[in-house]
Amino acid sequence: MSYSIQLYTVRKALEEDLAGTIQRLAEIGFTMVEPYRFVAKAAELKQAMAENNLTAPSGHAPLLSDDQDAIFAAARQLGIGTVIDPHVPIERWNTIEDIKETAAQLNAAATKGAAYGVRVGYHNHWWEVESVIDGKTALEHLADHLDPEVVLELDTYWAAVGGQNPADLLARLGDRVKFIHIKDGPITSDPSSQLAVGDGKMPVWDVLAAAGSLEAGVIELDDFQGDMFDAVRDSYNYLSAGKVSA
C-alpha cells in the first residue's frame, strides 16, 4: 500500500516554508499528501506538488461552513478527488435528528461537488463513536443516512479513543470507508501524547487488514513532543516495512 500524509501534521513547517516542506515529505518517500484548508494556497501547493511528483487523492476542507464552490474549484485545481469535511461539533451527535441534518448537508455538498467531478467525505473525531444511540454509534447512524456516493475517512485513533475497536468498526462500516487516518499513541484524547506509528498502543496491522476498500492510508499526528519530521519519517518507515513478526 502507498501512504499519504495529512499536511496538518507538518502545519508549522508549512507556514514557514511550504515548498521546502513538501520537498522534505517527498524525500521521506511520500507520493501522496492530504492538504487541509487548501483554498488560499492552492496555486502554491499545486506547484510544490508538481515539482515533487506528489498527488492529493483527498483533502480536508470545512464544507459545511465555508464556500463550497471555492473549495471544489480549488480541489479540482489540485487534482483532489475527494474533499472531506473534517469536523462537525460534538453537540451535533446526540440525537438522530441532528445526525440526519448533518447527513442532509453532506448529501447536498456531494451533489454540488459532483458538478466539479469531486466526491465528498466525512472524517470523525472521538465523539461520533463515543455517542451511542439505540446500540449503534452516531457515526454508523450517519452512514445510514448518507447517499451512496458520500464516503467516510475513519480516523482509527479517534475511534479507539471513543471506545470502539477500530478494526471492528471498519468491518461494520464496510466499503463506505475509502480513507483512514493512521496514528498512534496511548489512546487518549490529548493530542500532545501522540507518537510515531508503531510506537503506541494502536493495533495498526489489524486496522489495515480490516480496511478492505481503502484508497489511501493517511498518516497523521495532531501533535508530537519532539521533532515532527522524525515522527513522520519513523511512521512512514514502519508502515512501509510491513508487518514484522514477533
In DSSP notation, 14-42 reads HHH-HHHHHHHHHHHT--EEE-BS-STTH
pLDDT of residue 243: 61
Q: Which residue has the cell 524525500?
A: 27
pLDDT of residue 246: 35
- DSSP letters, 43-77, are HHHHHHHHHTT-B-SEEE--TTTS-HHHHHHHHHH
pLDDT of residue 16: 97
Helices (H), 115-165: 127-130, 138-145, 156-161
Tell me whether strands 177-182 and 151-155 are parallel, antiparallel or unpaired: parallel
Tens-binned pLDDT, residue by residue, of the chain (246 aa): 789 999 999 999 999 999 999 999 999 999 999 999 999 999 999 999 999 999 999 999 999 999 999 999 999 999 999 999 999 999 999 999 999 999 999 999 999 999 999 999 999 999 999 999 999 999 999 999 999 999 999 999 999 999 999 999 999 999 999 999 999 999 999 999 999 999 999 999 999 999 999 999 999 999 999 999 999 999 999 999 986 443
CA distances in angstroms from 212 to 168, 171, 201, 240, listed in the order given: 12, 8, 22, 18
Distance (Å, whole) CA 238 – CA 190? 23
